[in-house]
Homo-oligomer: A and B are copies of this chain.
Amino acid sequence: MYPQPINGYGVSKVVDSDHPEFKKDDLVWGLTTWEEYSLITDPKSHSLVKIHHTDVPLSYYTGILGMPGKTAYAGFFEVCTPKKGEYVYVSAASGAVGQLVGQFAKLAGCYVVGSAGSKEKVDLLKNKLGFDEAFNYKEEHDLKAALKRYFPEGIDVYFEHVGGEMLDAVLQNMRVHGRIAGCGMIAEYDRAEPRGARNLTQIILRRLHFIGFTHRDYDHIYPNFLEFVLPYIRQGKIVYVEDITQGLENGPAALAGLFKGRNFGKQVVEVASF
């Protein structure tokens, strides 16, 4: 096999095309891989979507208006089926998806607490993104007790980005009939041997729904999602925090930084501007 560029979602401009749906100078987002120019023969397999609204930053189509936004919207509203007044917990809450889940939870009338890995991120969650509470998980010796402190009544909805010890602590704080949306498990990805979770009997005892999902199963709701989110963006009622790295050559360091929590909001790599 020849070396391949890393797969990834990006925003691109069509340089040339003989496809009926995509014309020269069209803006698109989709799986355009980590390279300056991409040859796409099957737009469907690259999940290519034409960009119609350009009165918002184009970088948003790598985030709030792209895959992470669709993920947060489908995961929160479709997978978690939140009800007004429910208690929502989001890990990796200042990340590309988490920051949106928290804001969606507030719009849905929920109480939402987020966790992140630095004081700056915790401040962001509380002061800029409107989370009810936020905490630095690195400062907590006992995650189970920390969650008990923030959720004395228990957690109805957990948006899972972490796995491992965090998941174990959450399982011990879920309310009966709670929902866990499995979106990612970053604590597991770079381990040689996954740690997993030990408290799975809680899934049975508390009658939980633990549901893995991907935005790819929710293409049909993308138009509804845009209709929902664009007015909030234009009115400034939803905020989206991005961490923009310049230059494709700085992409690998930015990717590695995700595993160390170095990014502040959605990590974007700007390859070119147009």
Q: Is the CB of A207 within 8 A of B213?
A: yes
The answer to the question of A53 belonging to the interface, with a C-beta cut-off of 8 Å to chain B, is no
Instruction: Say yes or no: is A206 at the interface (Cβ < 8 Å to chain B).
Output: yes
* Distance between Cα atoms of A204 and B196 in the complex (Å): 13
Across-interface contacts of A208 in B (CB, < 8 A):
211-212
Taking a contact as CB atoms under 8 Å apart, the answer to whether A188 and B201 are in contact is: yes
A83 at the binding interface (Cβ < 8 Å): no
Please, which residues of chain B bring their CB within 8 A of the CB of A184?
A: 204
> This chain: how many copies in the complex?
2
The listed residue (B183, B189, B193, B197) touching A196 by CB distance below 8 A is: B197
Interface residues of A (CB under 8 A from B): 163, 167-168, 182-185, 188-189, 193-214, 217
Interchain residue pairs with CB less than 8 A apart (22): A163-B201, A168-B196, A182-B203, A182-B204, A183-B204, A184-B204, A185-B200, A188-B201, A189-B201, A194-B199, A194-B200, A194-B201, A195-B198, A196-B196, A197-B197, A197-B200, A203-B211, A204-B213, A204-B214, A207-B212, A207-B213, A210-B211
